[in-house]
Structure 1
Amino acid sequence: MKSTNVARNVVGALRDMGVRHVFGVPSGGWVDYMEAIRTTDGIDFVLASHEGGAGFMADICGRLTGVPGVCFGTFGPGATNLATGVGGATLDRSPMIALTDEMPASLRGRTVQMAIDHQALFAPLTKATMRIEADTAVTTLAEAARIALSGRPGAVHVGLPQGMSAVAVAAAAIGAIAADPVPAPAAADLDALTAAFAAAAKPVLAIGLGAVHARVQDRIVALAERFGLPVLLTPMAKGMVAEDHPSYAGVLFHALSDLVGKTHAEADLVVAVGYDPIEFNYESWMKDGLALASIDIAPADIDREKHPVAAEVVGAIAPALDALLALPAGPKGWDLAALATRKAAMFTKLAGREGPFGPCAALDVLRDVLPDDGIMTCDVGAHTHLIGQHWRTPKPGTQIMTNGWSAMGFGLPAAIAAKLCRPDTPVCCVLGDGGFLMTAGELATAVRENLPLVIVIFTDNDLALIRIKQEKKQNPIYGTPVRAEGTIGGPSLFGVPVTVARDPAEFRAALEAGFAADGPVIVEALLDSREYDELVLRKDKP
């Protein structure tokens, strides 16, 4: 019996798989889907200012909920705009279903306004791309969700042919959605791992995003403590080991990475747990000849001529850690007191200092004001490198960045989505003034949704990372000043009040007021970008 239509089946399936928000900019072809959302309990449409922002928002919903985030873009420019956020979900390993309008079958391949091949557009940006048919739309969405969640999570594109939304069909319900099971590791591979670990005098743990997804934080800490091992983190694995833990050795790739390198330079084996080179290739930080033991759901991506692979365990991560934990306890050859001294020196360099108001002092104040259970998202720029090393992160998911895709403009949409997903949690974002300009229109989204959100803008009128690279090459500063001087402009932007802070005391007062507000607030910190020069873009490899 044809008791419903395609649009209602699609929206009901999304709701039943756990989707609570669909982000996008509507089109004529989306009207039936919007009406289905309006009349379906438990799911809402969130109008974004730009499809790229909608993609970033869906990414964060996928990260925080474990259910694929969902976004929509129309033909041509809507889809290309959306593509920035879709690529981000794939390379930052967030489950997503990206919906777009598509031409009906009769017009595919024809010359039509706005028409491009969306299947071809999204193929290199997603794990899979497909389109619905009227009678099997729910089955297609279930398959898209399974693919998005399985293995390394990512985006799946689903095309919605124009004119299909109102087609009468039988009602269809979606079943339970689950990722494909991760296979158990081979016994021989576990034997090779334990042998390599037992033989190593100074193994170091390198923890990546895959370990976050595998939820093996307790095992990693136990392993470090059982054998007295230093632990390195990739930026998106922040929170897996506390900064004040004796084994914590720092974050790869970000500020003062040369000091972090003093630790891994002493290692004779890297035990990589869920290490995803999308954040930072092994060869960019491991000294030549250093051996690798990899534990991950995917084979290690490394130059095996430069780095011998002593063990490679492909499959579920937890059993491999259990095999190591079953070895006789006893400290390896590390001097954890020396590690503590290096770490203290690093954090001293990153602390706020006397003189002009700089980003280190601003982060110190923000960390003090934001509760430990609060969420801070950040954009991409020099400030990201400070946050990666300096920001105390109590647990995974309380600091959110993009380090696989690394798209400027990410921070504000990410914070909006985090607040929608966690309405009772304090949320803020830290943006450079350059990145802010890329998605400033999403302030209107925060206002429409009436989200209590603190938007921190580090204004230094400078694309500092690129300016530093210019100066390292002794090139003149060109094309990197955001503006000659001044602020982002005005006491209010898109209806969001702006408070300007010129020193730590003003910044603290503005933050405290901002977190007490009942809507979005901008706190603009006027900072000296020269503080970055001695902290970021240091030598990563010993």
Structure 2
Amino acid sequence: MSEKKVATEVVETLRDMGVRHVFGVPSGGWVDYMEALRVTDGIEFILATHEGGAGMMAEVCGRLSGAPGVCFGTFGPGATNLATGVGEALLDRSPMIALTDEMTEPMRGRVTQMGIDHQALFAPITKKTTRLRADGVRAILNDAGTIAMSGRPGPVHVGLPVGLSAEISTGGDAPAAERLKPAAPDRASLEQALAQLAKAKRPILAVGLGAVEAGVRDSVIALAEKFDIPVVLTPMAKGMLAETHRCYVGIVFHALSNIVGETHRDADLVVAVGYDPVEFNLEGWMPSVPLVNLDVEPVDIDRTAYPEVVDVTGDIALSLNHLLSGSMAKKEWDFQAIADRRSLMVDLMSPNYEQLGPTKVLTLLREALPPEGIMACDVGAHTHLIGQKWDTPEPRAQLMTNGWSTMGFGIPAAIAAKLTRPDVPVCAVVGDGGFLMTVGELATAVRYNIPIVIIVLTDNDLALIRIKQQKKGNPIYGTPVRDTGAIGGPDLFGVPVKTVSDEAGLRTALAEAFQANGPVIVEAIVNSLEYDALVLKKDKA
């Protein structure tokens, strides 16, 4: 067996794990790894503009591919920049391996340029943080991959001591990284859950991103249909049930959540399926009724306020199958009332304003984007509207960060989605505030000629915060993005900009943008006051 340098062993191990892209901003210590990436088939380095963008791209890559997304940052500021994307992987539950330069052992703890303790930095925002050794490259990285992909997915940090890349790898083979199957739930909790469901007259299913990860869409639909159980979704579980399905109620926490609440306030049992409170705590919307929780981890809830909890911890698919095996009467819900509330929300989110607004932009974009397309959105008032309004045909066809909730997510997410699913049309919807946070990643899209469509909702307003100001009776201050006007000229970083302010112009711009061979910005000048009547409603009756 020929000798391999650590850098080569690292890259080949990642490639064998299913990693196809490594995102980052290089350093001197990264040069050997970059060379290994250059000469190794099946994996490539993607130069990002900022380590934060690299981390976000890696998170989405992991979310869509199932293999760990991989990113790199250098000492100090490189690592702290990267941390934004690493935290995103933690709270949005995506597998990731985050690599950073680290000092050699004699220099750890010493005062030196760019020197901070990366192990301490990443400990609170990862599932594990560790350090690479020449005698354990495959073992350490494959262990990191297994941890990242198993249970609730998340990031693992691996420090790369400077100079290690050129050493000879001596560790040999190791067990391959794998996603460990959740344990089977215990029989007693399954029977308790079934008994609770059987005696309930008006149960409701609350489906979260853990159900997406578990791949139980068909079982959720079957359970809802078999027993006539209404379903609410968290925003990141969009696509688990069609918005037109008779059992679909709506999205908790997002636009018009008060209307959604008119259904779940009448529930006498909540069955949470992969419900992750990282998106929205159950206490924020759930009535004071018993809870059955089907998840890979016990529920995080105030047990004083909600004392009747049945935790069914383990494989969600097995838990759902047990509930489906039950024999009981259909539940006592008024599905016509639920349908009427769905129709009301559709009407309210389709106002007939003369001036172009975010609701009309989303309607026309949904018409322009093919059903198999992916839409990534940023964070802001438009996110709340998208959560309730955007028809999502399958899970992860709509990408948002609702656990970490970092502004600036939209552009890096779209880039990563297109790299991961190159045959699928991809677009991003961003507000002008979020756009400015990661606008530099347009250079990444140009560098690799990534054909994505970026829709910028320009309202010169941090609308979500402005609405909160006004609810408190405060004057508008610190929330206008600029006085007036558009984001720029005919192009930015070489990306053509199509600026529109009416429906006809938007239709034409979208049609042309989706035919382009590279990135395109469609800037829609919109009135942010449209949000005021739709978002930040009461979630709990």
TM-score bracket for the superposition, by shorter chain length: over 0.9
- The corresponding residue for 2:115 is 115
Deviations 1:425-484 (A, max 9, x none): 000000000000000000000001101110110000000000000000000000000000
Deviations 1:36-60 (A, max 9, x none): 0001011100000000000000001
Aligned partners of 1:292 and 1:275: how far apart in 2? 11
Alignment of 1:231 onto 2:234: no
The answer as to whether partners of 2:137 and 2:169 remain within 8 angstroms in 1 is no
CA RMSD between the two structures? 1.0
The answer as to whether partners of 2:138 and 2:171 remain within 8 angstroms in 1 is no
Q: Secondary structure at the match of 1:99?
A: strand
Aligned partners of 1:181 and 1:21: how far apart in 2? 25
1:266 is displaced (CA, Å) by 0.5
Aligned partners of 1:334 and 1:306: how far apart in 2? 26
Kindly provide the amino acid, as one letter, of the partner of residue 492 in structure 1. D
Q: Which moved more, 1:180-189 or 1:98-107?
A: 180-189
Kindly provide the amino acid, as one letter, of the partner of residue 441 in structure 1. G
The aligned runs of 1:382-393 (5 Å cut-off) are 382-393=381-392
How many matched pairs? 541
1:176 is displaced (CA, Å) by 2.9
The aligned runs of 1:135-214 (5 Å cut-off) are 135-170=135-170, 172-173=172-173, 175-214=175-214
1:172 is displaced (CA, Å) by 4.0
- The corresponding residue for 1:311 is 310
Kindly provide the amino acid, as one letter, of the partner of residue 7 in structure 2. A
1:180 is displaced (CA, Å) by 2.3
Aligned partners of 1:185 and 1:493: how far apart in 2? 53
Kindly provide the amino acid, as one letter, of the partner of residue 188 in structure 2. A
The answer as to whether partners of 1:352 and 1:362 remain within 8 angstroms in 2 is no
Kindly provide the amino acid, as one letter, of the partner of residue 511 in structure 1. L
Aligned partners of 2:174 and 2:442: how far apart in 1? 35
Aligned partners of 1:518 and 1:242: how far apart in 2? 32
1:177 is displaced (CA, Å) by 1.9
1:219 is displaced (CA, Å) by 0.7
Kindly provide the amino acid, as one letter, of the partner of residue 17 in structure 1. M
Q: Which moved more, 1:345-354 or 1:214-223?
A: 345-354
Q: Secondary structure at the match of 2:514?
A: helix
Q: Secondary structure at the match of 2:166?
A: coil
Deviations 1:389-448 (A, max 9, x none): 000000001000000000000110000000001111000000000000000000000001
- The corresponding residue for 1:408 is 407
1:352 is displaced (CA, Å) by 4.3
Kindly provide the amino acid, as one letter, of the partner of residue 236 in structure 1. M
The aligned runs of 1:9-20 (5 Å cut-off) are 9-20=9-20
Kindly provide the amino acid, as one letter, of the partner of residue 450 in structure 1. N
1:170 is displaced (CA, Å) by 4.2
Q: Secondary structure at the match of 1:457?
A: strand
- The corresponding residue for 1:240 is 240
The answer as to whether partners of 1:300 and 1:312 remain within 8 angstroms in 2 is yes
Aligned partners of 2:364 and 2:72: how far apart in 1? 38
1:331 is displaced (CA, Å) by 1.7
The aligned runs of 1:321-470 (5 Å cut-off) are 321-470=320-469
- The corresponding residue for 1:510 is 509
- The corresponding residue for 2:472 is 473
The answer as to whether partners of 2:134 and 2:170 remain within 8 angstroms in 1 is no
The aligned runs of 1:122-137 (5 Å cut-off) are 122-137=122-137
Aligned partners of 1:354 and 1:110: how far apart in 2? 63
The answer as to whether partners of 1:226 and 1:329 remain within 8 angstroms in 2 is no
- The corresponding residue for 1:79 is 79
- The corresponding residue for 1:56 is 56
- The corresponding residue for 2:496 is 497
The aligned runs of 1:88-99 (5 Å cut-off) are 88-99=88-99
Aligned partners of 2:289 and 2:77: how far apart in 1? 47
The answer as to whether partners of 1:226 and 1:330 remain within 8 angstroms in 2 is no
Aligned partners of 2:173 and 2:396: how far apart in 1? 32
1:171 is displaced (CA, Å) by 7.8
Deviations 1:72-93 (A, max 9, x none): 0000000000000000001000
Task: Give me the TM-score of the superposition, normalised by structure 2.
Answer: 0.99
The answer as to whether partners of 2:136 and 2:171 remain within 8 angstroms in 1 is no
Query: Could you tell me the percent identity over the aligned residues?
Result: 62
- The corresponding residue for 2:100 is 100
Kindly provide the amino acid, as one letter, of the partner of residue 258 in structure 1. N
- The corresponding residue for 1:297 is 296
1:174 is displaced (CA, Å) by 5.5
Q: Secondary structure at the match of 2:430?
A: strand
The answer as to whether partners of 2:358 and 2:526 remain within 8 angstroms in 1 is yes
The answer as to whether partners of 1:467 and 1:480 remain within 8 angstroms in 2 is yes
Aligned partners of 1:182 and 1:48: how far apart in 2? 35
1:330 is displaced (CA, Å) by 3.2
1:178 is displaced (CA, Å) by 1.0
Aligned partners of 1:269 and 1:281: how far apart in 2? 16
The answer as to whether partners of 2:185 and 2:312 remain within 8 angstroms in 1 is yes
Aligned partners of 1:416 and 1:367: how far apart in 2? 19
Kindly provide the amino acid, as one letter, of the partner of residue 63 in structure 2. R
1:328 is displaced (CA, Å) by 1.8
Aligned partners of 1:280 and 1:266: how far apart in 2? 19
Aligned partners of 1:155 and 1:281: how far apart in 2? 22
The answer as to whether partners of 2:375 and 2:427 remain within 8 angstroms in 1 is yes
Aligned partners of 1:498 and 1:246: how far apart in 2? 41
Aligned partners of 2:351 and 2:265: how far apart in 1? 28
1:306 is displaced (CA, Å) by 1.0
The answer as to whether partners of 1:68 and 1:95 remain within 8 angstroms in 2 is yes
- The corresponding residue for 2:22 is 22
Q: Secondary structure at the match of 1:250?
A: strand
Kindly provide the amino acid, as one letter, of the partner of residue 284 in structure 1. G
The answer as to whether partners of 1:277 and 1:301 remain within 8 angstroms in 2 is yes
Aligned partners of 2:64 and 2:422: how far apart in 1? 12
- The corresponding residue for 2:530 is 531
1:252 is displaced (CA, Å) by 0.4
